[in-house]
Amino acid sequence: MTDSIYKDLQQLGGATVMPQCPEEAILERVQNPQADIDYNIRFTAPEFTSLCPMTSQPDFAHIMIDYVPGEWLVESKSLKLFLGSFRNHGAFHEDCTIQIARTIADFIHPKWLRIGGYWYPRGGIPIDVFWQTGERPAGVWIPDQDVPPYRGRG
């Protein structure tokens, strides 16, 4: 790593502790070395967990984030720690999904971002939450998320 490019990163390459809540998590960013072209970046968190705000029971989701970067990229270790910080966080599915998306969008100002939160059933009903910042950019290959709907046992 070049010190001048990564000098402000606090978490990459060192020992870290999982933040206890999203408010304690520190997202980090790096300059996009390919900012002259548009391309898609995908993060997939197939084992995302949070807590039900009513029962404190764990909730599970498959979270998929696509974004077309501008000047900044999300540093992936900091994103992993940010997502992990929801393990002790009580919030409804909709709130968790949108909080993740808005935090990333507000921090790196991507040209475009979408999130799919594919939540496993609570009370027998799976809840899927989707959001994006605007129209999908023309000319950028953005694959479908292709997360199958929840089917239960059969």
Upper half-sphere CA count for residue 94 (Cβ side, 13 Å): 0
pTM of the entire predicted model: 0.89
Domain assignment of residue 77, given as a range? 27-32+39-127
Task: Calculate the alpha carbon distances from 95 to 46, 50, 128, 130 in Å.
Answer: 18, 11, 12, 11
- Distance, in Å, from the CA atom of 54 to the CA atom of 57, rounded to the nearest integer, reads 8
The verdict on residue 145 lying in a domain is: no
List, for residues 81-109, the tens digit of each pLDDT value: 999 999 999 999 999 999 999 999 999 99
Where in the sequence numbering do the catalytic residues fall?
Answer: 52, 59
The verdict on residue 113 lying in a domain is: yes
Specify the number of domains making up the chain: 1
CATH of the domain at 91: 3.30.1130.10
The verdict on residue 56 lying in a domain is: yes
List, for residues 122-150, the tens digit of each pLDDT value: 888 889 999 999 999 999 999 999 988 77
